[in-house]
Amino acid sequence: MKKLNPQKVFVQYRDTMTPYEPVMQRRYTITHSDITAELFVFISEEYAEDQITRMRDEVRVSWEQDKNDIALMGYVIVDGKGVIGNPKIRYTTFYNQMPIALQALRQADRFLFDQYPYLDNAPVLIHFISSNPAYDKTYDFGAIGNYR
């Protein structure tokens, strides 16, 4: 796994979010700059729609109740109306870069994980949304604690 540079991760808490609470209402919007290689993690009650670009290369993740446990569930958009780029390239890029995005999430919200260490055991499930069945899949990226 490629290692994240923590100095390139920027976090913004919005709405009622603080570094320590609440947990279940958190929505993460992860974006990046191709020019600076910086990653931006917005933590709020709703996804940061104002940070979504025409490229649609954001990752959206939230805490969800999964059976009897808690999980991080998210999605990326591989193709669809108005989405720019070749679906195969977008799919491959999202899949290959997801560990970096998850490291950015874990780094940005590290105070929450320090406060509630059990959250590191939460699985991360990311749905790749596509009209092509070859790309429309949900992947288990393992426990978020693997991305410290």
Q: What integer pLDDT is reported at residue 115 of this predicted model?
A: 96
| Domain presence at residue 80 | yes
| Domain presence at residue 3 | no
Q: Could you give the count of Cα atoms lying within 13 Å of 32 in the half-sphere of its Cβ?
A: 20
Residue 129 has pLDDT above 90, yes or no: yes
> 24 is in which domain, residue-wise?
9-147
| Domain presence at residue 4 | no
pLDDT tens per residue, range 45-65? 999 999 988 778 899 999 999
| Domain presence at residue 2 | no
| Domain presence at residue 54 | yes
The band of 66, judged by pLDDT with boundaries at 50, 70 and 90, is: low
Q: What integer pLDDT is reported at residue 1 of this predicted model?
A: 61
Average pLDDT, the chain: 94
Q: CATH number of the domain at 117, please.
A: 3.40.20
The total domain count for the chain is 1
For residues 128 and 78, give the distance between their C-alpha atoms in angstroms, rounded to a whole number: 6
